[in-house]
Each structure stands twice: as structure tokens, then as C-alpha cells.
Amino acid sequence: MSGAGAPFGARLAAAVADRGPLCVGIDPHRELLGAWGLPDDVEGLRRFTDAVVGALAGTVAVLKPQSAFYERHGSGGLAVLETAVAAARAAGALVLLDAKRGDIGSTMAGYADVLAPGHPAQVDAVTVSPYLGPGSLEPAVRTAREHGGGLFVLARTSNPDAATFQHARLADGRTVAQAVVDTVGGWNAGGDLGSEGVWGPRTGSFGVVVGATLADLDVDLAGLRGPVLAPGLGAQGGTPADLRRLFGTGAAVVPTVSRDVLGAGPDPAALRAAAERWAAELAG
């Protein structure tokens, strides 16, 4: 690992111990900019993003900007993202880029460079898609290991037609979703969550995405040895009770809220209060 300090899993565990597990998504879509009274342009994007980062980066464990909402504004939008990532990390938040990248060879390696020092928008972790096969993610795994970064791999998402592919069966009888979890667990081999509870310095740096609004948890996470990103709280219908129902106390869960916090803006105090309410509910 080149100059990265502790691996992502250990840094995530430390952030959760210090700040709680809440991850707040930064999703500056057109409608939300309008609700804040901001124009749908680079200046509106900048004002929105600066407000969210300024209000939350000093208190929440993870901020999760959605790359698409910056890319849609072209080079100016990417410049806003670069500035925001640096500011959030400087304030102590970990930054997870929600980009859902998935490709092969040198192209995947290029996507993964966002985890490398010197990248203009270097982040702590990135979401990736495994549906070109486990080997397609190896360049990202190598980059993450080299620089102390993390990956969250789409495994069991809760969008309505996710099961079309994720419940498909392999020749060995496992579902595709389970094969993804098992693959990621293999990358984390050697980690030991059990010795210090579900979070600790040996928490793996490779996690999976499992939706918080699933009717039932139909994948076995026992061998993951890494974190679970659980989107869907708030406006999408997920609750802290759903997290307890699905994951119990045996998984290192990073719950994600977006609209229920962002909708409280643009007042910074209101944004902080909304995040604090969710943090309190998750701790309850």
C-alpha cells in the first residue's frame, strides 16, 4: 500500500466509532436544486454542494456524492465534485463515490484511479458493478489494495426488478447475488470482525450493497468480513427497524439516507439537524 495510511476498512471502522454509521448521499438532481431555489447549472450545483459539505462533513462518517449528477454538468460539474471531495475529506468525512463503475481491463483500471493519490477527485471508496464477471473487478481490487481504498460491490439491491438477474442460479446452485457476496468475502479473507464486534481495525475494505427495503435478506453475509452499504432509508421507505430486521447485529452496516436529509436544506442548521435525527434513530 503506497502512502495511504490505514486501509479503508480500518478507517471506516474508526469513523463509525467516532461519528456513528450514517452515510448521507449527495444527490443534486434537477428537482432538488429547484426545491432549494437554485438554478440547474454549475453555479447552483456548487452552492448546493458547498452547503451540504459545509453542514455535514464535520459530523457524519461518510458522504456519498452521486457522480451522475456532477457529470451531467460537464467539466464544470466535475470541478465542483473535485473541490467538494477534497473539502469533505479535509473535514474528516470519508467520501464514497457512487459511480457504479463496471468494465474490463485497462478501462476498469482507469475508473479505479479515482482511489489513487494524485487524482483530482481522490475518494476513499467507490461503488462498482460486478456483472461483467468477478475478473472484471480485479483492476479495481488491485488499485484499492495498493492505495488503501475501498469498494462497495452491487450484490442484492432492492429496485423492483433486481431479482431478474440477482436471483438467477449458477451451476453450483448459488444465486448470482450470493456469488457476489462470496467473491467479495474472498477479497477480505483474513479479516476478523468477530474478535471486536462487527466493527474493528480488521474490518475488510471490500463491501457489498444490499438494499434496506428488501422484504427478506436472501443472501448469507456471514463470510463477508466487510461492510454492507444499505441504501433506501427515508424517502424510499426503509427504516431503522428494517435494518435490524434484515441485518440484526451481525453485520457492519453503513445505512444511507439522501432525500430525507437533503430536503431539509438549504439552511445548514436544518441539514445538520436532519442528519442528527437519523443518527439518533439509528443509535436507538
Q: Which residues contact 48 (CB under 8 A, 6 or more apart)?
A: 28, 32, 33, 36, 38, 265, 266
Q: Which of these is catalytic: 19, 100, 174, 277?
A: 100
Determine the Cα–Cα distance for residues 102 and 152; give it in Å rounded to an integer: 12
Whether residue 64 lies in the annotated active site: no
Residue tagged 436544518 (cell numbers):
270
Task: With CA atoms as reference, report the closest residue to 6 among 93, 124, 85.
Answer: 124
The distance of Cα 213 from the centroid of its chain, to the nearest Å, equals 16
Please say whether the beta carbons of 123 and 85 come within 8 A. yes
CB atoms within 10 A of CB 135: 12
Under the phi-then-psi rule, with left for phi > 0, alpha for psi from -120 to 50, and beta for the rest, what region is 37? Answer: left
Task: With CA atoms as reference, report the closest residue to 27 among 96, 112, 119, 115.
Answer: 96
CA distances from 126 to 8, 142, 149, 220, 276 (A): 11, 13, 8, 23, 25
Helix (H, G, I), strand (E, B) or coil at 89: helix
258, three cell numbers: 439522501
User: What letter would DSSP give residue 175?
Assistant: B
Task: With CA atoms as reference, report the closest residue to 36 among 272, 271, 278.
Answer: 271
Q: Name the strand (E) or helix (H) holding 62.
A: strand 62-65
Instruction: State the catalytic residues.
Output: 100
